[in-house]
Amino acid sequence: MTSTTNDTTGSAIDPTTTTAWEALEAHYLEQTTSLREWFEQDPQRAERFSRTAADLHVDLSKNLITAETMELLLDLAREVDLEGRRAAMFAGEHINTTEDRAVLHTALRRPEGAEPALEVDGQDVDADVHATLRRVYDFADKVRSGEWTGVTGKRIETVVNIGIGGSDLGPAMIYEALKPLAQEGLEARFISNIDPTDAYATTADLDPETTLVIVASKTFTTLETITNARLVREWLLGGLRDRGLDQDLEAEAVRRHFVAVSTALDKVEEFGIDPENAFGFWNWVGGRYSVDSAIGTVLATVLGPDAFEELLAGFHAMDEHFRTAPLEDNVPVLMGMLNVWNVNFQGAETHAVLPYSQYLHRFPAYLQQLTMESNGKSVRWDGSLVSYDTGEVFWGEPGTNGQHAFFQLLHQGTRLIPADFIAFATPNHPLTDGEQDVHELFLANFFAQTKALAFGKTAEEVRAEGTEGALVAAREFSGDRPTTSIMAPKLTPSVLGQLIALYEHITFVQGVVWGINSFDQWGVELGKQLAKGLAPAVAGDEQAIAAEDSSTAALIRYYREHRG
């Protein structure tokens, strides 16, 4: 399979001009929504709207859809050529139009020897990916076995990953999700924020002799990452000096305690890291899609190469489902098109993700970057402006914590907020409270919430419980609040990989319908550029302060006056 450029980068299709869009608008106006009635009329509704993708069981039946809705949504998917765009991505065509790049995060998890081989822009992608993985695994094994030690000969006990955005959110989320698999005596920590508190608090109780630092920045120029790397380098060298490290060994200390995930080998070496200990990735890997590349070195090191391989296998299983399943049974396609239905026809602006697993407490934050950096666009891939809503505000917290925080708004608020509920049949830590299986109590909440959101509680039902007067309305629940339930046997590396890839492909589907390039992020650049230019003013240059707008100048002066 060889690819260089593509023929899918011409004018984007305006979805509102399609026959299917027009039909969906008419269908929305004609539809009388009542999940209660739909379930009463069709005892098989749950079965009809449930699908399986790898190890995931996905129940879409509590969404505001009928069979006709789904048929029209799939008509829309075909009219915007979702299947063609999907094939172009997997083939390595340059669907990232503004950067003229392939989009090949799916290649990061292709098994070695997969057929047909994948060659893109003259690069043997499979060979390069697996060569890098072997280097990462070899490094991880050395750290895990104790062969790799710090400069004083002590084995590594803590791996600190310094990155930001995709170089932090993915590894941090997966580490938290799979923490029980960490090798005994080895932990990971993460620094991302340029707020010096982050670097200080993360390293305050660490032993520099047993700390290894991974600096993750493709270009090795990311302001936050390189600033934090310098701070941690000074912390480490200072701590070693306090323990008598000879000045002549400081360069060796950096080489023994710092490695990099980067392709800028000159800058890596300038920092003091041995280029032999730098692991690279490619321009067809976007940051928010990079956790299964060398960005995952911290995971392979602390959780182990076997766990990382299982994670990659889970990604690949979902990739294959997305690539090969008919649209009618394709879970990422169906969920992506449901999101389009909710955003563009139902008027939803936000989307809650509610994992009923404490280990997934960082999953909503991970999805915030994946979805909002990808689809927070107002320009189509051909440069034309959109005339319809794109993107959703993704947010969430683990159940049952969220139930005691924001579920009030989900149940009785004035806004329609679709929600994805995620749960696992087998707990990581089965515990009992007397005779009560606590995981069963936990899942009872999971089942109850989607039921309550779907079916609500009528005024008659409230009165039947003995409530009268004005309190009736306060205790009534409208129902018809859309949810999707995702379940799996257990939270494993493979299942986690499947979940991540599921949302990657959902995001892709929405981007294709909206005609936007989901793989650039120009919107993050302006603020970063302005921050660099403001540095002299913040440092007290009065001429620079005077050149700013009145609000910015006043805020800087407030800072200067009150800096302790």
Hey, which residues does 188 pair with through a beta bridge?
Answer: 159
> Which amino acid is present at 142?
K
Q: What is the pLDDT of residue 6?
A: 38
Q: What DSSP element (H or E) covers 448?
A: helix 438-455
Q: Letter for the amino acid at 455?
A: F
Active-site annotation holder among 22, 490, 528, 542: 528
How far, in Å, are 204, 231, 362 from residue 197 at the CA level?
10, 11, 20
Question: Tell me, what DSSP letter sits at residue 33?
Answer: -
Average pLDDT, the chain: 96
Residue 429 confidence (pLDDT) above 80: yes
392 is a catalytic site residue? no
- How much is the average pLDDT of 439-450? 98
Q: What are the pLDDT digits (tens) for 393-407?
A: 999 999 999 999 999
Contact yes or no for 110/316 (Cβ under 8 A) = yes
User: Which one from 404, 440, 451, 525 is the annotated catalytic residue?
Assistant: 404
E strand or H helix that includes residue 37: helix 35-41
User: What's residue 7's pLDDT?
Assistant: 43
State mean pLDDT over 275-284.
94
pLDDT tier at 528 (50, 70, 90 boundaries)? confident
Confidence of residue 1 (pLDDT cuts 50, 70, 90): low
- Among candidate residues 93, 209, 224, 373, the one labeled active-site is 373
Answer yes or no: are the C-beta atoms of 371 and 514 closer than 8 Å. no
- Three-state DSSP state, 287: helix
d(CA 417, CA 34): 16
Decide if pLDDT at 172 tops 90.
yes
Asked if residue 367 lies in contact with residue 503, where contact means CB atoms within 8 angstroms, the answer is: yes
Q: Are strands 56-59 and 50-53 parallel, antiparallel or unpaired?
A: antiparallel
Per DSSP, 57 falls in state: E
Active site residue 27: no
Question: Is there a contact between 423 and 363 (Cβ–Cβ < 8 Å)?
Answer: no
Is residue 208 within 8 Å of 239, Cβ to Cβ? yes
Over 90: is that where the pLDDT of 20 sits? yes
* pLDDT class of 9 with cuts at 50, 70, 90: low
Angle between helices 493-514 and 67-79 (to 10 degrees): 70
395, 353 contact by CB (below 8 A): yes
DSSP-derived pairing of the beta strands 483-488 and 419-424? parallel
* Residue 528 annotated in active site: yes
